[in-house]
Chain A
Amino acid sequence: MDIGLQHYLVASGALFSLGLFGIIFRRNLIVVFMCLELMLNAANLTLVAFSRFTQHMDGQIFVFFTITVAAAEVAVGLALVVAIFRIKGNGKTESLKELKF
């Protein structure tokens, strides 16, 4: 069987949805951040697949920027988790319920 564009798109779509479900349903902040990375990498996979099959290089350049920015995002995110851990003693999403109506 030949692996074509649509196989990559289905795989990346599945990863993207998996990440989204993880963000909605998981209760640990670190796991939530991992799911965010999963979503970003699913998008990267789509970009690379399109780049490969349409013979335009822009998509691969885009991926470099995405990876760099995602690293910056996670650096800030982990700093936040550390700050929360110092105050609350855990990294659970349930402990964040101060702000509500």
Chain B
Amino acid sequence: MISIFGTPEFILTVAATLLLLWEAALNPSPRLLGRVTLAILIGLFVYVFESDPTANKALWSGLYVWDAEAKFFKLFFIVTSILVVWSIRLLESKIEVGKSEFYIITLFAASGMMLLSSVQDLILLFVALELVTVSFYVLVAYHRSQTASLEAGVKYLVMGAVSSAFLIMGSAYLFGACGSTHFDSIGLALRSLEMRPEILLGLALVLVGLFFKVSVVPFHVWAPDVYQGAPLPVTAFLAVGSKAAGIVLLLRLLTGPFAGEEVASYWIPALATLGMASMILGNFAAIPQRNLKRMLAYSGIGHAGFLLAGIVSNFIQGQAAVLIYLCTYLISAMTVFIAMSALGKSGESDHVSNYAGLSKKAPWIAVPMALGMVSLAGIPPCIGFMGKFTIFIAIWQSEHYALFAAGVISAVAGLYYYLGVVRTMYWTNPADKDPVIVSFQTKIVLGLLSASILLIGFWSKPLFSIVNSIYGF
């Protein structure tokens, strides 16, 4: 990690460009390209894992920071991308045109997310965010002969562009008030200036832009439609990667330049209210849903509410809880999405009724999926419980009792629909008896994910010590 050329984003972007050229010149088979993509991501994981975050803290004259938090999130996004690529491999036959490009655009989105975890400047923030968003516009509308996918693409594009406009407008006001776009200079200016309306306006507009990405109530309206219409791997990437990218930006901004007590007294009540609304609306609106992707969209809105609650608990403990919650969400949600992809290979996977009696037809899919659902609901032995538990402790310690109550109510409401899916899989009769074929490698991936749901749930000390070492306690 000595120069720009050693940063994982640079390596990934160059690799993706080379893959694009390779695809254009020699036309390799999409399966081979998928394998190479996986190999690149796994290699990059090892590279980032082995690197030392203290060696060279700031690059590009301070625009880019390479600290423990950035390393954590980069590894997070690489793992997410590996699992998303696996899901694409499972559903490759459903892509009509441009199978190879699907992998490559995923890599570009992944490099944008990794760049986001290191930003220290509003300009770089905007460019990295747009790298992610524009890649997603293409990915969401990838099934271009299906109106649902196109409709989702248009909705995501309009909402995404509106949120970018809010973000730039907010950045402009922050720049105007502080005289710089760099986070450190903004923080310095905020400490020396008295609170002026243009600073608050700028912060509010930037937050609105980021809330769109995280899908927080009332900026969530796009999420159910887009999740439902997008191809399944893209839904998974949106649910985990895009949400985490928004959260890392919120953490970078709110615990960085805007952590001062005076400005925090403005954003903490706002975030607490929106977090409360997201938890309740997300979990209650998910109950009547019959389309699984749409249900997971609403559940994702609920999870965004929990994450905001963690950020509001303005202790270091709250930040650590957010990181732990994101890890548990990554593992649980990706288990569900990969199980759905494994089923989607042989038929429609969206509607809940298609999962009737799955335990008899395909136990290799039903067991991980049930575990994932139970974990998302936050039931004790699973990893999801650890996430919810740490968030609740952080909320309680920061004395946001209304938020705590809303969290408890929505967690209970969540049980109903998550366990409803499990009930459909185990206690209803299948419509047909055709067995679902699952490949050996997919069984291994699903087995590993299920094992980590249970093992980390029982023995979560390593996860806590990793997160605690980031914040130095």
Contact = CB atoms under 8 A, between A and B. Distances in A.
Nearest to B126: A65
Interface in B170-184: 171-173, 175-176, 179-181
22 contacts: A36-B162, A36-B165, A39-B169, A40-B161, A42-B165, A51-B175, A54-B179, A58-B180, A59-B176, A62-B126, A62-B172, A62-B175, A62-B181, A65-B126, A69-B127, A72-B134, A73-B134, A77-B137, A83-B144, A96-B155, A98-B151, A101-B294
Given A39-B165, A43-B172, A96 B123 contact: no
B264 to A, nearest CB: 25
B138 A47 contact: no
Interface in A1-59: 16, 19-20, 23, 29, 32, 36, 39-40, 42-44, 46-47, 49-51, 53-54, 56, 58-59
A61 B126 CA distance: 12
A87 B153 CA distance: 14
A39 B122 CA distance: 18
A50 B134 contact: no
B148 interface: yes
B300 interface: no
Contacts of B294: 101
B127 A101 contact: no
SS class of chain A's interface: helix, strand, loop or mixed? Answer: helix
A20 B127 CA distance: 22
B225 interface: yes
Nearest to A56: B179
B168 A98 contact: no
A22 to B, nearest CB: 11
B172 A50 contact: yes
A87 B144 CA distance: 9
A44 B145 CA distance: 36
Q: Which secondary structure characterizes the binding site on chain B?
A: helix
Interface of A: 16, 19-20, 23, 29, 32, 36, 39-40, 42-44, 46-47, 49-51, 53-54, 56, 58-59, 61-62, 65-66, 69, 72-73, 76-77, 80-81, 83-84, 87-88, 96-101
Contact of B169 (A42, A56, A58, A101): A42
B369 to A, nearest CB: 23
B69 interface: no
A20 B162 contact: yes
B141 to A, nearest CB: 6
A43 B161 CA distance: 12
B365 to A, nearest CB: 26
Contacts of A59: 172, 175-176, 181
B164 interface: yes
A81 B179 CA distance: 39
A53 B198 CA distance: 15
A80 B176 CA distance: 36
Nearest to B165: A39
Interface of B: 122-123, 126-127, 130, 134, 137-138, 141, 144-145, 147-148, 150-155, 157-158, 161-162, 164-165, 168-169, 171-173, 175-176, 179-181, 224-225, 228-229, 288-289, 294
Contacts of A50: 172-173, 175-176
B172 A76 contact: no
Which one of B138, B154, B161 has the highest number of Cβ atoms from chain A below 10 Å of its Cβ? B161
Contacts of A98: 147-148, 151, 229
Given A40-B164, A100-B225, 13 more contacts: A59-B176, A66-B126, A69-B164, A72-B134, A73-B137, A80-B154, A83-B144, A84-B147, A84-B150, A99-B228, A99-B229, A101-B224, A101-B288
B170 to A, nearest CB: 9
A47 B179 CA distance: 11
Nearest to A64: B123
A99 B123 contact: no
Contacts of B147: 84, 87-88, 96, 98
A74 to B, nearest CB: 9
B344 to A, nearest CB: 18
Contacts of B168: 40, 43-44, 47, 62, 66
Nearest to B288: A101
A56 B180 CA distance: 7
A20 B153 CA distance: 19
Nearest to A72: B134
A1 to B, nearest CB: 22
A76 B137 contact: yes
A65 B164 CA distance: 12
Contacts of A20: 162
A83 B180 CA distance: 41
B141 A83 contact: yes
Contacts of B158: 23, 32, 36
A29 B154 contact: yes
Contacts of A87: 145, 147, 150
